[in-house]
Structure 1
Amino acid sequence: MTPPADTDRYKHHRFPPEIISHGVWLYYRFALSYRDVQELLFERGITVSHEAVRGWCQKFGQDYANRLRRRRPQPCDKWLLDEVFLTINGKRYYLWRAVDQDDNVLDILVQSRRNKKAAKKFFRKLLKGLTYVPRVVITDKLRSYGAAKREILPGVEHRQSRYLNNRCENSHRPTRQRERRMQGFKSPGHAQRFLSAFGPISQHFRPRRHLLSASAYRKEMADRFESWVEVTGTAWAA
């Protein structure tokens, strides 16, 4: 039995990769604070400070999320875009989010404006690294979307309706839950960093359960946990 090659990223850490990845999983999967994770680990006989948990999440959270994102299938060709406001230190910001027709979060971006320039920046971020364009883009009636889409995706169908976009609007709910649990984000950068990692990790463990039988759901979750073990480098290969 030999460990996988990428375990080098855990060098100089006091705890083994299995504990570190489990702590990161707890924090991003459930509405827990760093101290909550510390307590759950302590119940299992693992004495670690909440600051160590914070360091694990900051160092490995985005890395895990990026690896999960690279593993997922190509998104569907129908994109739904929406923005929701965030109040950070008394100032209003906007969280831009895009999902596909199967509820997969494509990307997020925290910005201080929701004008044409902000919409164009979000479109460019969405398209970065992609080898295809969507068939249709669905948004609410914010004019910034139409102005930006005409320049960035001129040949793509654009549907604007407050009712067609419910899927994307509902995708903001987990963010609101974590925002309340964290008593608000500390800065726009903090919101961007947390949500960039939170989205892929949390969603990876949230299949569309209402479409699956009990046996199919158990199999799907077993597959996803197996992927998590591979992504975090805690698997042992023969």
Structure 2
Amino acid sequence: MDAELFPRERAAVAPGAVHVPDWLDAARQRTLLDACRTWARPPAGLRTVRTPGGGTMTARQVCLGWHWHPYAYARTVVDGDGAPVKPFPDWLGELARQAVTDTLGPQAVAPAPYDIALINFYDADARMGMHRDGDEKTDAPVVSLSLGDTCVFRFGNTATRTRPYTDVELRSGDLFVFGGPSRFAYHGVPRVLPGTAPPGLGLTGRLNVTLRVSGLPADTT
């Protein structure tokens, strides 16, 4: 937002969980958005995620490196078109490592490379229930980047989906990293604020790019 009375500042939301406003400048946001649009095209493109109980997630998703489906990883889109998952680019791994260094310090960077991206697209009505990122075989920090519309990001605790939690406003270009004692905290998106994306970005809705370390052997199929 322009001309704010109180500029947004970096904040430690919980031990090991850090929010950095405007971490991506306008040019890097456009570059990442262009890449997301390429990744979203079929094959192995943007899809609706169906849960084992027969429900569907309102945020649509595309994966890189490893394909996530409730609640496991595969090398092909086993719950979609069956195509091989798109590769995870080295530059995205470098971005993740820089994000961890900037928030938690170089000592928190995982020795194993970042090799998963989950990219979720939220329209005005999409939500994400409280959940933990627990299908990886590692406790390396999770890196979350926001593009487009602002959302309310609810960051909770490791024991329950309910309180205590903190609601954080994530805007386009914001970075949120959680690791250490907060790595397996419950979190979700209770609402998106339509029409709040930067006018120059050219995106209606919200994209969330979540980067993770799988801890899985490279030859697993």
Asked whether the two chains share a fold, i.e. TM above 0.5, the reply is: no
Higher radius of gyration, 1 or 2: 1
TM-score (norm 2): 0.26
Hey, which of these two has a bigger chunk of helix by percent?
1
